[in-house]
Amino acid sequence: MTLDPSRRFSPAQRTALYLHADGRCEHCGRDLDGGFDADHLIPHSRAGRTDMANGAASCPHCNRSRKDKFMLTAPTRHPAPLGPVEAGLSLRAWQQRAVPEILAHDERSFLLHVAPGGGKTIPALFVVRHLIERGEIVRVVVVAPTANLARQWAATAHRVGLNVTPNWEGQREPRDMHGIAITYQRVRHGALALAAGCRAATLVIADEPHHLGADRSWAAAFEQAFAGAARWVLLSGTPFRSDGRPIPGVRYEDGEARSDFTYGYAQAIADSVCRRVSFNFYDGQLRWVSDGRRVEADFTLALARREASRRLRTALTPELSDGLRRMIADAYAQLKEVREEHRDAGMLVVCESIDHAHATARIAEEVIGQPPVLVTSDDPDATGHIERFRAGSDPCIVAVNLVSEGVDIPRLRIGVYATPKKTPMLFRQIVGRFVRTGSGPGNECSHLFLPRDPELHRLAVEIEQEIAHRLPDPEDLIGPGGHDGADQEATAPPDEPHTTFHPLAFEPQRRDALLSGTVVPPDEAAWIDRLAHKRGVSPDEILRRLDATGIAATEGSPERPARPAYELAEELRRRRRKLVGRLHGLTREGHAEINIHVNKLTAAGRSVRQATVEELRAGNDLLERRIERSQRPRSGGFGS
C-alpha cells in the first residue's frame, strides 16, 4: 500500500526531529540505534498536521503500539524554577502600564514601540516571568539582530530571575534554562529545529523585527520556526514601513507599522528616562573632483543626489587634513569637559566601512593620545571589545555598525556621526546610543557632532520637533516613519565603476547647535548644559522656563547579582574539556568514553551541551576525584 505523501515527514524534518530528541525515542526514552519513525503526536488520521510542532522521533515499537491514540511527548516539559529578581530592580511607570497590556492582549502578536534608551528589554522579560508563573509558557526564545545583543538579553534576563542561554546552537536546551537568545541569522539556518522546540509552550520575543523585512527568506524562516509558539512579542525602537515586505506579526495601516503600545522619545525625555542630545553641526567650503571636473560647495547649496552624496563623503574623508579630524578633536574636547562630572563618560565614532573605521581610528589615536577601542565585523573578538568598553573607562570606541543598534553602553555621552548613511531608522538608532541615563548625572545632555548635511539636519529637527510638540498622551507618540522614498533618497548612492570621485578639501566651521528644539551658538549649548546641571534642572528650564524635569541621581546601587547561569555553564564546559584531557593523559581512555561515562552518572546520559549547571558541576567533581585516584599507584580506568 502506498503511504499518503501528505503524512510523510521530509528528510530535513526527520533529521531535525532526531536531533531534537537527542537520538532517543520521545515516548519511552530508548536509544534510536536501530532506526526510528517520524511520528505524529496527533495522529494523521485524526487531522494531525505533518509539521514540526506535531512531530516526534519514535522507536518503531512505540509508534506501532499506540496506533491511532493521542500521545504527547514524554516526558512533558516543565519550566525551570524561577530565580529571584535583582534587589532594587523595578519597573518604570510606563513599563508598569505596558506589562499588563501585553499580558491581557487577546491576539498572539503584540508590537511594543519604545524610543531607543527607553527600556524595552526589562518589561518584556517581566512578561516572560509572569507567563511562566501563570503556567501559560515554559520557555522563551529571544531573537536579536546580533550575537552581542543576544548575550545582553541573557545577562538582563538573569537580573529578572531567568536563565537564558545566548547564541544557542544545540537542539535542546538544558533543563535548568528558561530559554535561548539567538540571532535572526540563526533562525534562518535552524528553523526546523526551532519549530520542534515550540512544541513546549513558548513565547517568542523579536527584538527589532524590521530585520525580517530586509530579506524575504528571513521572514519565511521566522514564520516556519515559530508558527507553533503560543505568543509573539515584537519590540521596536525605531519606526518602520512595510516597503512591500510585510513583517510577520505586524499590523499595518497605509503601509505604516502600527504598535499596540508606544512610548516615544518625547515622553522619555519628560520622564527623565532618556537624556537630551545636543546636535552640533559643521559647515564650510568643500572641494572634490567629480567625473573629471572640480566642484566646490558648502552644505547650504542644493545639489543633485550624487553630488550631495559626494559632498558628504568629502566631509567624512579621513585622509583630509581637516574635516573629520576637526570634528573628532572638538568631540574629544567636549568629552574632557563632560568627564569632569561624569568620570567614565565615553565617546563613539560611527564609521561607514571597515577600512574607513581603521583610518578614522588612526585619527582618533592622534587626537586622544591613545588607541581607541576598534570594533569591526571582521574581528572575531568584536563582542569582547564591546563588553570591555562597556565595563571599562576607555575614552573612545570606533565602530562601523555593531554599536548602532540595541547595544546598551550607558556611559556614551559624545558621538561623531562619520557615516554617509542617513536613513531615518539608522539616524535614530545612532542617536539612541547617547540617550541612556544609567550612568553619570541623569539630567545632563549628550552631544553629537556631525556635518550639516541637509538630510541629517532634517532628521535632527524632526527629533527635536517631536520633543517640542509632545502630545499629552504617550500612546499617540509614534516617531516619524519618513516620507515615501525617504530611505532611498537618504542612502548615499554608490559610485559607478566608470565614474570618478576624489575628495580635495573641507574647511569646517562649527555653525550652530540644536538643543531642545532651539538653535544656539555651539559654545552656548555646552554652557546651557553645564548651567542646567549646576542648578539641577533640565536645559528646558534654562531655555524656555518650563517646569524642571531633572531628577537627583539615585542613591546607592543594588547588590551585584550572582553570575548568570549561562556564564557558569560555559566555564564549567571549558573546565570539563581540560579535566577529560588530563584523565586521558593518565589512563589513555578515549575522550568520548570518559564523557559518556560521566554523563551517565551525573546527567542521566545527557550530553555536555544539554547538562544543567549542577550536572556539569557534579561531573567535574567526579572527574577531579577520578584524576586524583588515577595518580595513585595501580589506578585503572572507570571500571577499576
Burial class (CB in 10 A: 0-12, 13-18, 19+), 585: exposed
549 has a pLDDT exceeding 50? no
pLDDT above 60: residue 493: no
How many angstroms from the chain centroid is the CA of residue 175? Answer: 25
Q: Provide the whole-model pTM.
A: 0.70
Mean pLDDT of 265-291: 87
Paired sense of beta strands 179-183 and 164-166, if any: parallel
Angle at Cα 431 formed by Cα 425 and Cα 437, nearest 5°?
A: 130
pLDDT, greater one: 180 or 275: 180
pLDDT band at 468 (very low <50, low <70, confident <90, very high): low
The confidence band for 530, taking pLDDT boundaries of 50, 70 and 90, is low
Q: Please tell me which residue, 54 or 207, carries the higher pLDDT value.
A: 207
Q: Find out whether 525 and 541 touch, Cβ atoms under 8 Å.
A: no
**Residues 112-125: pLDDT tens digits?**
999 888 889 999 99
pLDDT for 239 equals 62
Work out whether strand 346-350 and strand 412-417 pair parallel, antiparallel, or are unpaired: parallel
Give tens-digit pLDDT for 209-238.
888 876 677 888 899 889 889 999 999 876
Per DSSP (E only), the strands in 51-122 are: 55-58, 109-114
Cβ partners under 8 Å of residue 334, min gap 6:
414, 447, 449, 526
Task: Say whether pLDDT at 27 is over 50.
Answer: yes
pLDDT band at 402 (very low <50, low <70, confident <90, very high): low
- How many Å separate Cα 246 from the centre of its chain? 21
For the chain, give percent helix, strand, coil, nearest 5.
40, 15, 40
Q: Is the pLDDT of residue 480 over 50?
A: no
pLDDT category at 382 given cuts 50, 70, 90 is confident
Model confidence at 478, pLDDT cuts 50, 70, 90, reads very low
Lowest mean pLDDT, pick from 292-296, 435-439, 464-468, 477-481: 477-481
Coil, helix or strand for 351? coil
Averaged pLDDT for residues 477-505: 51
Q: Is 57 a residue whose pLDDT tops 60?
A: yes
How many CB atoms neighbour CB 132 within 10 A? 23
Residue-wise pLDDT tens digits, 74-104:
445 678 899 999 999 999 999 999 999 999 9
Return the pLDDT at 534: 63
Q: What is the predicted pLDDT for the residue at 555?
A: 31
Instruction: Give the span between the Cα atoms of 113 and 115, in whole angstroms.
Output: 7
Mean of pLDDT values over 264-274? 82
